[in-house]
Amino acid sequence: MKHFPVSERSLKLPRPLNLIGNEFLPAASGAEMDVLSPLDGKPFTTIADSGADDIDAAVAAARAAFDGGAWSKLSAAERGRLMLRLSALILDNSEDLAQLETADNGKPIVQSRADMQVTARYFEFYGGAADKVHGEIVPFLQGYNVEVQREPHGVTGHIIPWNYPAQMFGRSVAPALAMGNATVLKPAEDACLTALRIGELAVEAGFPAGALNIVTGRGDVAGKALSEHRGIDFISFTGSPEVGVMIQTAAARNFISCTLELGGKSPQILFEDADLEAAIPVVIKALIQNGGQTCSAGTRALVHRSLWDRVVADLKTAFEGIEASASDETAVLGPLISARQKNRVERYIAEADAPLIARGGIADGTPEGGYYVAPAIFGPCAPDAKIAQEEVFGPVLAMIPFDDEADAIRIANGTEYGLVAAVWTKDGARQQRMAKALRCGQVFINGYGAGGGVELPFGGIRKSGHGREKGFAALLEFSHIKTVVNHHG
């Protein structure tokens, strides 16, 4: 199997510059940082290592666009048309973007291609929705007309992670633009090249200056400066719970609201009547997709005791056949994002407080220096074992047996997180009971969708965060209500 080093790939690299007011600019300090490819751990380009000055400039550009600039003068339909043009440009450039994503993030090329379709779909969905957000008329006293209007917040800040760089860009920024906000994006320093390239495409599509600004750099410098900036009116964050707390604290200090999407420990619940032929491949994909670095990865398999031996045998066989690799086209599991993430996941595996059921491998000839981790399954895990409670963010599955429905509900709801859950049963009444009992933001019945699902409101409760992304719900998050009471007599 051929593993292409990044140096042999013909990549269309974006300008390693910030996008501020439709100009491509280096960091004010001139500082740059290396971009390492997870495929081989080697640097292959640079990005701007921006500071508070750059965030100031981006927020000022967004403010000018929102307060009287060309962006503010567009009708909702015109905004939508620009977004549809960007969606088409993403599709036209999807293969180049996918190659770039794989070099930058390490994910298998098949996954990167799927990601570009989803990214284009975000701009298509929200472009189409831009002129479909209506206000309401409220019946009130005689002589009054009362309108409830939806207005954009103003300047919105967006801080996104490295696991789905292009998709997260679309998911966070597209609904904000559709509502007419002017945006400042701080993508993740570990993988942000497709965000920069899509920024170039936005300029090509004709977005007016300041509608979309992108500033790269470190979380504790550029990210912090954005989250604390007094010039932003709303902040959308996806990433770790630890940083989520800082974002919410900064938002509180500025008296603005925020959405937080902070990950999960999502259960796949297999009842005694589950269709295992259908369920097992989905359980594997929901974990292995993106190397387990998915907020909604199905990282806990809750299995009825009557099925335990069979499910363990099937998953053991499957996992022992999975190899992490950098090969194009056939790879299902790539490297993790960074040496730090690899070490974190290896530590969870080494210190797991449950028996190891199976371990996959790392393919022969995989480039040295890449961040490859062989997948692992543990079980039977106690529901409160560390490996069954904490978000590992790697290809690690915790299997937990259960006895009955009440037991399954207790275990499924028994973590600090609450993002997604799946229920595998043919019993219609049980499907309804489980959907009601599970404490999380999305429930799949006899299926699972980690990522994608642009139309489906998505988000969590408790440590998984709050607020909703995706679907029409995201448009409402990126707007606020103004009630206009007109006493006409």
Catalytic residue set: 261, 295
- Backbone φ and ψ for 88, nearest 5 degrees, come out as -65, -40
- Backbone φ and ψ for 78, nearest 5 degrees, come out as -65, -40
Residue closer to ligand NAD by CB (options 154, 161) is 161
Residue closer to ligand NAD by CB (options 210, 219) is 219
- The answer to the question of residue 299 lying near ligand NAD (CB under 6 A) is no
**Shortest Cβ distance from residue 228 to ligand NAD (Å)?**
8
Assign residue 417 a region (left: φ > 0; alpha: ψ between -120 and 50; beta: otherwise).
beta
Taking contact as CB under 6 A, which single stretch among the options 138-146, 147-155, 215-223, 381-389 is the one that binds ligand NAD? Answer: 215-223
**Shortest Cβ distance from residue 248 to ligand NAD (Å)?**
11
Please select the residue that binds ligand NAD; options are 152, 180, 223, 471, rule is CB under 6 A: 223
CB 204 within 8 A of CB 34: no
What is the footprint of ligand NAD within residues 131-160 (CB under 6 A)? 159-160
Max Cα–Cα distance, the chain, nearest Å: 82
Please select the residue that binds ligand NAD; options are 261, 314, 469, 477, rule is CB under 6 A: 261
Residue closer to ligand NAD by CB (options 160, 288) is 160
Residue closer to ligand NAD by CB (options 111, 163) is 163
Q: Which residue has the tokens 């339909």?
A: 77
Q: Which residue has the tokens 């140096």?
A: 7
Angle among Cα 226, 229, 231 to the nearest 5 degrees reads 115
CB 184 within 8 A of CB 50: no
Residue closer to ligand NAD by CB (options 17, 262) is 262
**Shortest Cβ distance from residue 18 to ligand NAD (Å)?**
14
Taking contact as CB under 6 A, which single stretch among the options 115-123, 240-248, 269-277, 362-370 is the one that binds ligand NAD? Answer: 240-248
- Backbone φ and ψ for 261, nearest 5 degrees, come out as -125, 110
- CB-neighbour burial class of residue 457 (10 A; exposed 0-12, middle 13-18, buried 19+): middle
- The answer to the question of residue 256 lying near ligand NAD (CB under 6 A) is no
**Shortest Cβ distance from residue 216 to ligand NAD (Å)?**
9
Residue 59's identity, in one-letter code, is V
- The answer to the question of residue 238 lying near ligand NAD (CB under 6 A) is yes
* Alpha-carbon span 315 to 318, nearest angstrom: 5
- The answer to the question of residue 379 lying near ligand NAD (CB under 6 A) is no
Q: Helical H runs in 94-223?
A: 94-105, 109-129, 165-178, 193-205
Residues that bind ligand NAD (CB under 6 A): 159-163, 186, 188-189, 219-220, 223-224, 227, 238-240, 243, 246, 261-263, 295, 341, 344, 391, 393
